Chains A and B, each alone.
Chain A
Amino acid sequence: MSSHLSHDAAEAASDAVHDEASRHDPVYDQLHADAQFAELRRRYRSFVLPATAAFLTWYLLYVVLSNWAGDFMGQKVIGNINVALVFGLLQFATTFGLAWLYSRYSTAKLDPLAQGLEAEFVRLTDSTDGGAR
């Protein structure tokens, strides 16, 4: 931070009055170094990144099949219900399903860690600056 020019410092000071941008609370560094935080981030990413890749692929597969596999999509399954309709409804089902899975996963695996770290943050800020926040 010492390399800042005075102009930047003045600008930062005027911004600081306003909102978050220039706040740098060392408590966050402490929490960031916490093994609990590393675990929370690992758990979060190990769910959402593969899940995002999966649902985007599944959706694009549907778009591509709708475009370039008309015969397959047009096959009748039961009565007038064809593969295209079933595939479309499956997109609804997988969306509901993945949302439900994420809800269950985050409640069980993410929330307890996040809440623990937030409580730790409150404890640390109370002891370092007398609860000014």
Chain B
Amino acid sequence: MNHQVLTAVLFLSVVALTLFVTIRASRNSSGAADFYAGGRSFSGFQNGLAIGGDYMSAASFLGISGAIALAGYDGFLYSIGFLVAWLVALLLVAEMLRNSGKFTMADQLAYRMKQRPVRTAAATSTVTVSIFYLLAQMVGAGSLVTLLLGIDKENTLAVSAVIAGVGALMIVYVTVGGMKGTTWVQIVKAVLLMAGSALIVVMVLAKFDFNLSELLGAAASNSGKEGFLEPGLKYGIDLTHKIDFLSLGIALVLGTAGLPHILVRFYTVPTSRDARKSVLWAIGLIGVFYLFTLVLGFGAAALLNTGAGSEVANSGGNLASPLLAEAVGGGAGSTGGAILLAVISAVAFATILAVVAGLTLTSSTSVAHDIYNAVIRKGQATEEEEIRVTRFAAAGLGVIAILLAIPARNLNIAFLVALAFAVAASANLPAIVYNMFWRRFNTRGATWSIYGGLISCISLVIFSPVVSGKGLDPTGKNLSLLPTSIDIAWFPLENPGLVSIPLGFFFGWLGTITSKEPEAAEKFTELEVRALTGAGSEKAVVH
């Protein structure tokens, strides 16, 4: 059997399995707490797996191992930021959010502030972060599927069809399965991903007699790059690159605890203690996974051709893991190689499907719960109406994501994900932290910090070299988004976090001290008691 047929069969099996899980989960789902928060009845361990499922995106699995394969040690820097970030979520956010919120990120702010302005602001940033993240996943799905099924990348119609197919599937997961279905999809995916990567890791290490030093040596010599095992290959070129890396590092470590699709996962467990347990499981799982990607990345550098013009380099590193699987299975053309290539590709596909489902659910919930119910209907909508709007919003956001992803299909995935982290860290984290620790914080502070962080982050990107002014690379490829004739860049960094995160905190402070809202300070007493003790928090649904 040729490998494309095998790959296609495995892809369809992944789709069938996830749809089966979604439909099963939807059978005993009724009411808003089930639809939005999975009945708050998942265990800490299950939710830990699901968090891992939501977090270990295609950018992590394909992107980080690919970055290590191409840039050596500098690729590893990403995974450290992504992991350490979980301590912010564990220590400052997870438990208090579980105790004080209900379905969305905005709930926790609206607890003590004016409903409409803060919910509008929080929903705006939730949808913005989710769309950037969604685009990254769908672009990844498009290039993965087309490359593995042997579809020509220039065949716009076929690539668009793949993107539209992924979009349609994600709409089904969310509208049919709600949070229960989506959570089970994450759990299945996390197990598949861990098992698939562990298998390849063991096979790679076996080739080097389980000697890490030997693997590293082979990677360094096979890559042919000077300083492959040291930091600086990608980011150490000049001072601007170094500051850019510092900016990226800050966004990564502060962004995680502001990602809306991660925050809502804390509502799916019965108590704040389970929320804590789920983060602990997630840290263990994600940590081990990033150690796997280290071996996968250096393994790819050691065993594959990663030089200019190679298949790995042409895919921006995204195909390093699948091709490594093929190589350790016996190489191109062998049966073992074909099977492993198909398995790892199917796992990557499952990864993408699960992450898009989580993102779509989170953003459509925010549209229905925060905008439709609280702002438009002034809180008078029934649960049924709210859920119906969520389903429509999921379909609408799905269509928007498909329409945006098709023209964006040649963008760099890692850039889109890093941007989502930067927006989350600039717009969401300041408001969340102030709200929990600062009695004086109020409505104007919250809206200013969210809009201030959001707008400064996105404007800095618009005026950065990412969008214009980077010129052509030696092969004549345009390095920026806009044509080379347009140059509006004045901000030197590609990662805005270093400036926009402090701005988010600054606007939150400025808005707070320039307005008076004694009610917000008064209700802080209640919020604080509830957040720390769980007194009066939302309970699990009993079926």
**A interface vs B, CB < 8 Å?**
1, 14-15, 17-21, 23-25, 28-29, 31-32, 37, 40-41, 44, 47-48, 51-52, 55-56, 59-60, 62-64, 66-68, 70, 73-74, 78-82, 84-85, 88, 91-92, 95-96, 98-100, 102-103, 106, 111, 113-114, 117-118, 120-122, 125, 133
The answer on a CB contact under 8 Å between A48 and B92 is: yes
B220 at the A/B interface (Cβ < 8 Å)?
yes
Task: Give 20 pairs: A residue, B residue, CB < 8 Å, sorted on A.
Answer: A15-B115, A28-B525, A28-B535, A31-B529, A31-B535, A47-B91, A59-B81, A67-B235, A70-B230, A70-B231, A70-B232, A78-B213, A92-B290, A95-B86, A95-B287, A99-B86, A100-B280, A106-B276, A114-B533, A114-B534
CA distance A51 to B214 in the complex (A): 37
The answer on a CB contact under 8 Å between B229 and A80 is: yes
- Chain B nearest CB from A6 CB (Å) reads 15
Scan residues 109-144 of chain B and give those whose CB is less than 8 A from a CB of chain A.
110-115
Known: A21-B115, A29-B525, A32-B528. A52 touches B92 (CB 8 A): yes
The answer on a CB contact under 8 Å between A85 and B73 is: yes
The answer on a CB contact under 8 Å between A25 and B526 is: yes
List the one stretch of B245-253, B358-366, B482-490 in contact with chain A: B245-253
The answer on a CB contact under 8 Å between B529 and A32 is: yes
Contact of A14 among B272, B276, B378 (CB under 8 A): B378
- Which residues of chain A come closer than 8 Å to B534, judged between CB atoms? 114, 118
Scan residues 198-234 of chain B and give those whose CB is less than 8 A from a CB of chain A.
212-214, 216-217, 220, 227, 229-232
Residue of A nearest to B80 (CB): A91
B76 at the A/B interface (Cβ < 8 Å)?
yes
B87 at the A/B interface (Cβ < 8 Å)?
yes
Contact of B91 among A25, A102, A133 (CB under 8 A): A102
Contact of A59 among B110, B253, B273, B373 (CB under 8 A): B253
The answer on a CB contact under 8 Å between A19 and B91 is: no
Residue of B nearest to A59 (CB): B84
- Chain A nearest CB from B85 CB (Å) reads 9
CA distance A38 to B47 in the complex (A): 31
**B interface vs A, CB < 8 Å?**
73, 76-77, 80-81, 83-84, 86-88, 90-92, 102, 107, 110-115, 212-214, 216-217, 220, 227, 229-232, 235-236, 242, 245-246, 249-250, 253, 272-273, 276-277, 279-280, 283-284, 287, 290-291, 373-374, 378-380, 519, 522-523, 525-526, 528-530, 532-536
Residue of B nearest to A119 (CB): B535
- Which residues of chain A come closer than 8 Å to B230, judged between CB atoms? 70, 73-74, 82, 84
Known: A48-B91, A99-B87, A118-B534. A14 touches B379 (CB 8 A): yes
- Which residues of chain B come closer than 8 Å to A121, judged between CB atoms? 529, 533, 535-536
Give the 8 A-B CB pairs with smallest separation, nearest first: A18-B379, A79-B213, A121-B535, A66-B231, A80-B216, A28-B526, A74-B230, A117-B533
- Which residues of chain B come closer than 8 Å to A51, judged between CB atoms? 87, 91
Known: A79-B213, A84-B231. A21 touches B112 (CB 8 A): yes
Known: A62-B80, A63-B249. A41 touches B287 (CB 8 A): no
CA distance A92 to B235 in the complex (A): 21
The answer on a CB contact under 8 Å between A103 and B276 is: yes
Known: A37-B533, A52-B92, A74-B230. A88 touches B87 (CB 8 A): no
CA distance A84 to B373 in the complex (A): 51
Beyond A32-B528, A52-B88, 5 additional contacts (C-beta under 8 Å) are A14-B379, A21-B113, A66-B231, A106-B276, A118-B535
The answer on a CB contact under 8 Å between A21 and B110 is: yes
- Which residues of chain A come closer than 8 Å to B522, judged between CB atoms? 24
- Which residues of chain B come closer than 8 Å to A73, judged between CB atoms? 230-231
The answer on a CB contact under 8 Å between B280 and A103 is: yes
- Which residues of chain B come closer than 8 Å to A133, judged between CB atoms? 536
The answer on a CB contact under 8 Å between A41 and B102 is: no
- Which residues of chain B come closer than 8 Å to A23, judged between CB atoms? 526
- Chain B nearest CB from A97 CB (Å) reads 10
- Chain A nearest CB from B540 CB (Å) reads 15
- Which residues of chain A come closer than 8 Å to B283, judged between CB atoms? 95-96, 99
CA distance A92 to B86 in the complex (A): 11
Contact of B229 among A66, A82, A98 (CB under 8 A): A82
- Chain A nearest CB from B249 CB (Å) reads 4
CA distance A52 to B253 in the complex (A): 12
- Chain B nearest CB from A76 CB (Å) reads 9
The answer on a CB contact under 8 Å between B80 and A92 is: yes
The answer on a CB contact under 8 Å between A67 and B231 is: yes
- Which residues of chain B come closer than 8 Å to A59, judged between CB atoms? 80-81, 84, 249, 253
CA distance A99 to B528 in the complex (A): 23
